[in-house]
C-alpha cells in the first residue's frame, strides 16, 4: 500500500470515528465531505440549532499531539473561508462554529479522540 493510499485510509477511518463520537454526544449529522473550490469540510453536524463545521485530524500515534499541531494558522484561515462558503448555502442567520476532532490511532489499544469546540477562538 502506498503512503498516499495509507494516509487516505487513515483519514477515512478517523472521519468515521469522529462521526460516531459526534453522534454519541447528541449531534445530528448533516453531511460529510462537503466540497467547494477552496477545499472540503470533513463533517457538518448540528448541535441543537447551531451548525458545526468539523475538521478531523487523524494521526497514527500514541497521542493526539501531532493531530493538534497540524492545525496551523494557515489551516485555521482556510477552514474559516470554507465554513463561510458552506454557510452561504444555508439559512443566512443560522448560528455556526468550527470544531476540531483530533484522533490518535496507537499501535495497540483504543483510538484516542479529543474534541475542541469553537476552534476559531483558540
Residue 30's domain comprises 3-121
In this prediction the pTM is 0.92
CA distance 34 to 39: 8
**CATH number for the domain that contains residue 76:** 3.40.1350.10
Count of domains forming the chain: 1
CA 32 to chain centre: 10
According to DSSP, the residues that pair with 28 across neighbouring strands are 46
Tell me the percentage of the chain whose pLDDT exceeds 90: 83
Identify which has the larger pLDDT, 101 or 120: 101
Residues 6+ apart with CB under 8 A from 101: 14, 18, 21, 22, 43, 54, 55, 56, 57, 113, 114, 115, 116
What tens digit of pLDDT does each residue of 19-60 get? Answer: 999 999 999 999 999 999 999 999 999 999 999 999 999 999
Amino acid at each position: 500500500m502506498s503512503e498516499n493510499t495509507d494516509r487516505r485510509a487513515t483519514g477515512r477511518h478517523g472521519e468515521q470515528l469522529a462521526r460516531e463520537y459526534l453522534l454519541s454526544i447528541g449531534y445530528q449529522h448533516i453531511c460529510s465531505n462537503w466540497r467547494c473550490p477552496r477545499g472540503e469540510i470533513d463533517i457538518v453536524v448540528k448541535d441543537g440549532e447551531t451548525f458545526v463545521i468539523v475538521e478531523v485530524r487523524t494521526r497514527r500515534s500514541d497521542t493526539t499531539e501531532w493531530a493538534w499541531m497540524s492545525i496551523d494558522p494557515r489551516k485555521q484561515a482556510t477552514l474559516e473561508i470554507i465554513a463561510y462558503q458552506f454557510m452561504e448555502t444555508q439559512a443566512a442567520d443560522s448560528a455556526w462554529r468550527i470544531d476540531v476532532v483530533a484522533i490518535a490511532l496507537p499501535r495497540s489499544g483504543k483510538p484516542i479522540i479529543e474534541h475542541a469546540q469553537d476552534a476559531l477562538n483558540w
